[in-house]
Amino acid sequence: MELSPERLVSRSAEEPLRPAYLIAGPETLRVLEAADALRAQARASGVSEREVFEAGGRSFDWDAVAASMRAPSLFSARRLLEFRLPSGKPGREGAELITQFCAEPAQDVLLVCCDDWSRQHGGQWSQAISAVGHVAIAWTLKAHELPDWIDRRLKHKGLRADQEAIHVLAERVEGNLLAAAQEIDKLALLDDGSRLDAAQMESRVADAARFDVFGLLNAAMNGHGAQVARMLGGLRAEGVVVPALLGMVAMELQRAATLARVQARGGNLAAAFKAERIWDSKQAAYRRALARHPPARWERFVVMAGRVDRTAKGRGVGDAWQQLERLLLAVAETGALRLVA
């Protein structure tokens, strides 16, 4: 059964240790905190020895790991065997080793942590963990989920805030959970027992919004024009230069143009997503964007990206930031905007 990391933490306090756990996902803070809670439970249960394996790269020696796992512990009756998989995949040898461990669980406890995760990362090895233990996936929080996450964290710290104040903090951190956690920790230090309102939240938190090109493109594809304008303003204020953004912007627009052509001729869009290496988590945004614009308009967007690039490099006329904003707002809008250099 798949759990959220927070649910895994609460269940860990209610039940004895299970033989194996998988904690994974793109939300690093949630993965780290769930893993820390599990380590604390292991220590409280008498698991005093811990072995950590950084299983990254093709040169990783799984045979040596298998030998280590078979060897008896020198200092404790039980060990915590922790595998860190940056890529989210253990490979054939690692998958076999994990599956074998779960088929005949020893006294040791297996913890597998992954920095990355999608539906394609799983397999028999993760199913084997689920059969004897728990799988907790920290999916990226959607915009409408962030206020609830912030509310729960505030309450956990003994803080009270009204809904407007919570939305102020959510807007300021723009999906950056680490920044949100840091701001909440600072709020706890300043807590005077009163209920925080929007004005107090405004005065106490910094604008830690994560203005990056991935969030920018996600906002454009999802049709959030106001967010596009705000994020571009933040990037510009931070000193980011247009050419640093154009590579990713152009690549995503070219992908969308390819998908639009496939869709227009009645082709297999699911296969096209796979060919373009667009993960499941991003496909909904692409589908929404494709529904807004016909193929010819996507071709115009690609051409416009080239014009912005030339302007940014001094070979065109006009303001590259204004042109980039106009382009991305056109992607975000339902109707076609007149694209001019």
Which of 167-176, 178-187, 249-258, 314-323 has the least mean pLDDT? 167-176
Residue 19 has pLDDT above 90, yes or no: yes
Confidence of residue 209 (pLDDT cuts 50, 70, 90): low
Average pLDDT over residues 286-307: 94
Closest CA to 305 of 238, 252, 269: 252
User: Mean pLDDT across the stretch 142-155?
Assistant: 91
Give the pLDDT confidence score for residue 341 in this predicted structure. Answer: 38
Domains and CATH numbers, the chain: 2-137 (3.40.50.300), 146-204 (1.10.8.60), 213-332 (1.20.272.10)
pLDDT (0 to 100) of residue 293: 94
Q: Is the pLDDT of residue 132 over 70?
A: yes
Confidence of residue 131 (pLDDT cuts 50, 70, 90): very high
Q: Which residues contact 69 (CB under 8 A, 6 or more apart)?
A: 81, 97, 101, 106, 108
CA distance 330 to 107: 59
Asked if the model's pLDDT at residue 259 lies above 90, the reply is yes
Tell me the pLDDT band of 334, cut-offs 50, 70 and 90.
Answer: low
**What ranges in the chain are assigned the alpha helix state H?**
5-12, 28-44, 62-70, 91-103, 124-132, 146-156, 163-173, 177-189, 198-204, 213-221, 225-237, 242-264, 269-275, 280-292, 295-312, 320-332
Give the span between the Cα atoms of 171 and 143, in whole angstroms. 9
Mean pLDDT along residues 280-288: 85
* pLDDT value at residue 339: 47
311, burial (CB in 10 Å: exposed 0-12, middle 13-18, buried 19+): buried
Question: In this model, does residue 140 exceed pLDDT 60?
Answer: yes
Q: What is the pLDDT of residue 57?
A: 65
Q: Which of 211, 317, 299, 311 is nearest to 330 (CA)?
A: 299
More confident position, 77 or 258: 258
Do 3 and 15 form a contact (C-beta atoms < 8 A)? no
| pLDDT grade for 12, boundaries at 50, 70 and 90 | confident
What is residue 238's predicted lDDT score, i.e. its pLDDT? 81
> pLDDT tens, 232-257?
998 888 888 898 888 889 989 999 99
Percent of the chain with pLDDT over 70: 93
Residue 4 burial (10 A CB sphere; 0-12, 13-18, 19+): middle
pLDDT, residue 248, reads 85
pLDDT of residue 208: 56
**What does 221-255 look like in DSSP terms, one character per residue?**
HTT-HHHHHHHHHHHHHTT--HHHHHHHHHHHHHH
- The residue that leads in pLDDT, 38 or 207, is 38
Alpha-carbon span 84 to 135, nearest angstrom: 15
Q: What does the pLDDT read at residue 24?
A: 93
Model pLDDT, residue 157: 93
Find the Cα–Cα–Cα–Cα dihedral 168, 172, 177, 183, rounded to 10°: -80
* Helix H or strand E segment including 134: strand 134-137
